[in-house]
Amino acid sequence: MLRHYRMFAAYNRWANTQVYTAAAELSDADFRSDRGAFFGSLHRTLNHLLVADRIWMKRFTGTGEAPTTLDAVLFEELDTLAAARKAEDERIIAWTGMLDKATLAADFTYVTVVQPTEITQPLSSALAHLFNHQTHHRGQCHMTLTALGKPSLMLDLIYFLRNEGREWM
C-alpha cells in the first residue's frame, strides 16, 4: 500500500498540473464564473481542493496551515493559488515518501470541520479519502473547463501511468 499511495501522490501532482495549465488559458471572468460545480466556479473549486488538502495534511502531520471552513478562499489570483498548489503537492509527495507500514496501518484521531466531532480511523483509509476527494473535485474542474468550451483533459490514472508515471507500472 505504501507504493500505491506514493503513486497516487505523484499522480495527484500531475493531474493538478493539467488542470492548472488549462485554467491559465481562461479569462479571469471565466475562471470565476459559476458553472454549477459544488463550489461554483473553477476558482472556488481549486481553492477548496487546497483547503481540504491543508486540513488533512495538518491532521496527518500536526504541522501547516489548516483553514477552518471548507469554502475558504485562500488565494484570489490563479498564479498564487497555483504556486500554493504546487507546494502542497510536493508536501504530500514528501510525506507519503516518509510513511512506513506501521504508521499507515495505525489509527489516528482528528476533529471534523463541519460538525466538530472526534473521529478515529486507520490512517490508510483517511489517506485514500484524500486522493479520492482530489479526483472527485478535479472531475468538477474538468466539467467546468468543458462547459467553458475548453478541450477535455486526459486525467485518467492509466494515462498518467502510460506516460509520465511509467515508474509506477
Nearest to 134 by CA among 10, 49, 73, 14: 49
What cell numbers appear for 77 in the block? 489570483
- DSSP structure class, residue 71: T
Provide the residue-wise pLDDT of the chain in tens; the chain has 169 residues. Answer: 999 999 999 999 999 999 999 999 999 999 999 998 899 999 999 999 999 999 999 999 999 989 999 999 999 999 999 999 999 999 999 999 999 999 999 999 999 999 999 999 999 999 999 999 999 999 999 999 999 999 889 999 999 999 999 999 9
The Cα 109–Cα 124 span in angstroms is 12
Question: Tell me, what's the pLDDT at 36?
Answer: 86
